[in-house]
Chain A
Amino acid sequence: MIHNPSENLAQNREPETDSENNWRQYFSFSTDHKVIGVQYMVTTFIFFLIGGLLAMLIRAELITPASNVVDRPLYNGLFTLHGTIMIFLWIIPFNAGISNYLVPLMIGARDMAFPLLNAISFWMIPPSGLLLISSFFLPNGTAQSGWWSYPPISLQIPPGQPINGEFIWIVSIVLIGISSIMGAVNFVTTIFWMRAPGMTFFRMPVFVWSVLSAQLLQLINLPSLTAALILLLFDLSFGTQFFKPLENGDPIIYQHLFWFYSHPAVYIMALPAFGIFAEVLPAFSRNPLFGYRSLAVASLGIAFVSIFVWVHHMFTSATPSWMRMLFMVTSMLVSVPTGVKAFGWTATIWRSKLHLETPMLFAMGGAAMFLLGGVTGVMLAAVPFDIHVHNTYFIVGHFHYIVFNTITMAIFAAIYFWFPKITGRMYAEGWGKLHFWLTFIGANLTFFPMLPLGLQGMVRRISSYDPRYQGWNIVASLGGFLLGVSILPFIANMVGSCLYGQKASDNPWFATGLEWTTTSPPPRDNFAEIPVVKRPPYDYGDPKYSVIEPPDYHQQEH
C-alpha cells in the first residue's frame, strides 16, 4: 500500500505525445482524473443531446392544442425521460466531470484521492444511461410517471410484466446514485486530504468550495432517494405495500424521502454553476472576486439551509399548515446566502472594464438569468402563491430558468473557459459568440412564455390543451427549436478547434488559479513539482502579485 511517489511519477508519466496520437486513452479505463473528467463531459453531452431531442419532440407536440404528434403514453415517456436524462445524466454527472478535471488542478494535487474508484464511478454512467434509454424499446415503453416517479402512479403498470419501464427506471437511477456516492466520497476526501502545502481552506477557489458543498449534499441526501427507490422497487415488483394507499401504505412518505434528496439536488446542480461564475467573472473583469470569504462560506450556507426546505415541494400534499409555515420560512432563508452570492458577482464586475469573450458572455448571461429563476423560486416558496400555480407551467418556467438558463449556461461558460487548458488549443471566438446569442435568445423565447402560461392556469404534463393557450406555446416551441439549432455551432466549434485550433498558451486568460500555472494540457501528474501556495486565490490587479505569472513560478517559491 505504501509506495514511493517519485517512483510512481516515473512509471505513470506517459510520453508527451501529440493529442492526435493519444485520443485512445479517452476510450480506455484510465485512472487519470483529467481523462475521466473529459470522459464524463463528453458522455454527458451526448446524453444532453438525446434529452434535447426528446424536448423538441415535446415542444412539437405542444405547438398545437390537439394531441397529434405522439400518443399519450409516448408523451408521458418523453417528458419522464427528458427530465430524468437532463437531471441525472446531464447536469449532475457533467458537474462531476468538470469537477474531476479541475479540483485536483485547483488544489495542487496530482490526482483524486482514490483514482481507481474514480474510474469506476465514471464507468457506471454509460451503461446505466443506456439501460434507461433502452426502456423505450420495451413493449409498454419507458416509465411514464415523471422524474418524481410518485406512487401510486408509478405503481400502475400493466400486470404480468415483470420487467417494465418503471423497473428499469428505478434500477438505472439507483446505479447512477451509487456512482454519485462514490464520486462524492472521492471529492470530499480529495479536498480535505490532497491539497498542496499552503493551500488552506481560505485559499481554495470558490469553485472548489462549491464542489465541496455540493458533494457533501450528495453524501447526506442522496441515500434517502436510494432508500425511497428500493422501497418503490419492492412495491412495484415484490408485493410489499409501503406506498400503496389501497393497502395501508402511504405515498406521502415517498414524497418526503424523494424531496429530502431532490430539493438539495437542485443545489447539487446549481452550486458548481455558482462556482464557475466565481471563476469566470473575476478573470474577465480583471477584478479580485468581491467578498471572497463570504462567497466561499455562502456555498456551505446554501448547502446547509437547503437540507431543511424539502417540504416546499409538498405544500399541496395534505401538508399540515404548521409544517407549511415552517418550510416557507426556511425556503425563504435560502435567499440570504444566495443573495450574498449574487451580490458578490455583481460587485466583482461593477465598474470594471469587461472583456466580453465567450466564457464571460455565458457567465454574465447565466448569472443574469438566475435573477428570474431565483425570484420565481422565492415566489413559489410562498404557500398561497404556490398553491395557486402548483403543477402549472409556472413551475416549469421557474426551474428551466435555473437548470437551463443558469446552470447549462454556466456549464457552457466553463467549457469555453477551460477549453484551452483541456485541449491545449483555442476555440473560435466568432462561433462561440454565435452560439451564445442563439442560446440566450432561444432559451428566453422557450422558457419565458411558460411563466405567463402557468399564471393563466395551463397545467404541466399534458399533450393537449385549451386553444386559448396556443399563442405563448407557439413562441415557446419556436424558441425550443432555436435552442436545438444553437447547439450546432457549438459542436462545430468544439470539434473543429480540437483538431485545428490555434495552439493555446498555458494561461491564455491571465487567470490566477493554480490550474493555469501548469502546461496546457497538463501532464499526467498535473504539475512538474507540487506548488507551495502562498497567495490568495483571486489577486487580480493586486500589484503585489503580477497578473501574468512568470513561467518559472514554482521554482521561485523554493
Chain B
Amino acid sequence: MNRGVIHVDESPVPLERWRQYLPNWLKRFLPIRGGRSQDHHGKGMFGFTVFLLSESIVFFSLIFTYVALRLTHSQNWLPPHISGPKLSTFVIINTIILLSSSFVIQTAENFLKRSQLNKFRWLWLITICMGTYFLIGQGIEWSNLDFGLSTGLVGSTFYVLTGFHGLHVLSGVILQIIMLVRSFIPGNYNKTHFGTSATTLFWHFVDIVWVLLFSVVYLWRA
C-alpha cells in the first residue's frame, strides 16, 4: 500500500468550489484535498514557513516597541554626549555583505536542485563566510560604540534589537555548517534536501528582517 498515490475522491463538494480559483503554486503549497502526506519536502517547507511567520511577529513586536518608544520619548532619546548608532561605511559594507549573501545562497540552492553538488558546496561555503563576516563585523561595531546596553533607551533598543537579529544570523550560520557537513555524507543527500531549502529560506528571512531593522535603527535620523 502506498499512501502517496491513493486515488483522491473527486466527487463534487458544494461550497468547496473556491478551490479552483486558487493559483497552482498555492494549491501545491496549501494542499486542500488531503492525502498528500508523502510529500515530505513540501510538508516540511510548509511547516517551516509557518514557523517563520511566527518568528516575524517576534521581530515585528520588537520593532513596534522601538518605534513606539521613539515616537513618544524622542526628546530623551539620546542621553547627552552620546551620538547613537552611526551609519558608518563599515556598517554599510557589513549590510551589503549580508544582503548579497542571500543571492549566493540562492544560487547554491539552485545548483543543488540541478544536482551540481560541488558547485553547491563552494557557494554554500562562501555564504558561511559572509555570515561569519557579518557577525564579526557586528562585534567590532559594538565594541567601538560609545554607549552600552543600559545607556538610555537608545542603548536598550539598539543592543536588544540588533543582538536578537545577530542571534538569528548565528543560528543561520550554524544551520549552514550542519548542512555543509551533511552534504558529504553519502546517500542522504538529494536535490530536494529539506534542510538546505529550509536554511535558504531562513537566510532570506534573516536578511529581510535586517532591512527593516537597518531602516529604523540606522536610517531614521532624529
Chain A contacts to B: CB under 8 angstroms:
1-2, 4-6, 107-110, 113-114, 181, 184-186, 188-189, 192-203, 219-224, 226-228, 230-231, 234, 238-242, 247-250, 253, 256-257, 260, 293, 529-530, 532-534
Contacts and interface: CB of A to CB of B under 8 A. Distances in A.
Interface of B: 1-4, 6-9, 11, 13, 15-16, 30-44, 46-47, 50-51, 53-58, 60-62, 64-65, 68-69, 72-73, 76, 149-150, 152-153, 155-157, 159-160, 164, 188, 190, 193-194
A221 B50 contact: no
B35 to A, nearest CB: 4
A193 B61 contact: no
B54 A6 contact: no
A221 B58 CA distance: 9
A5 B4 CA distance: 9
A239 B46 contact: no
Given A189-B47, A257-B65, A5 B30 contact: no
B196 to A, nearest CB: 11
Given A181-B54, A193-B43, A200 B73 contact: no
A227 B39 CA distance: 34
Nearest to B33: A200
Contacts of A196: 34-35
A408 B59 CA distance: 34
Given A242-B69, A530-B3, A530-B6, A5 B31 contact: no
Contacts of B40: 1-2
A193 B50 CA distance: 13
B186 to A, nearest CB: 14
A189 B156 contact: no
A219 B50 contact: yes
B51 A185 contact: yes
A106 to B, nearest CB: 12
Nearest to A215: B50
Given A231-B160, A241-B153, 7 more contacts: A1-B40, A189-B50, A196-B35, A197-B8, A200-B16, A223-B54, A250-B68
Contact of A220 (B30, B53, B153): B53
Contacts of B53: 219-220
A109 B35 CA distance: 9
B72 to A, nearest CB: 6
Contact of B152 (A185, A222, A241, A250): A241
A240 B149 contact: yes
Contacts, number: 176
Given A181-B51, A201-B16, A223 B37 contact: no
Central interface residue in A2, A184, A293, by most chain B CB within 10 Å: A2
Contact of A529 (B1, B60, B61): B1
B171 to A, nearest CB: 14
The dominant DSSP class at the B interface is helix
Given A114-B47, A241-B153, A253 B34 contact: no
Contact of A250 (B8, B73, B193): B73
Contacts of B9: 197-198, 532-534
B34 A240 contact: no
Nearest to B51: A185
Contacts of A114: 44, 47
A202 B13 contact: yes
Contacts of A223: 54-58, 60-61
Given A202-B13, A231-B160, A530-B6, A249 B46 contact: no
Contacts of B50: 184-185, 188-189, 219
A109 B37 CA distance: 8
A194 B153 contact: no
A231 B46 contact: no
Nearest to B72: A250
B57 A220 contact: yes
**Those 4 A-B pairs whose CB atoms lie nearest each other, nearest first:** A195-B34, A239-B150, A227-B61, A198-B9
B168 to A, nearest CB: 13
Contacts of A230: 160, 164
Nearest to A219: B54
A247 B15 CA distance: 57
A253 B37 contact: no
Contacts of B62: 227, 231
A248 B61 contact: no
A239 B147 CA distance: 13
Contacts of B43: 113, 189, 193
B149 to A, nearest CB: 6
A253 B69 contact: yes
B54 A185 contact: yes
Nearest to B56: A223
A2 B191 CA distance: 12
A193 B36 contact: yes
A241 B153 CA distance: 6
Given A196-B35, A240-B155, A242-B156, A257 B61 contact: yes
B61 A250 contact: no
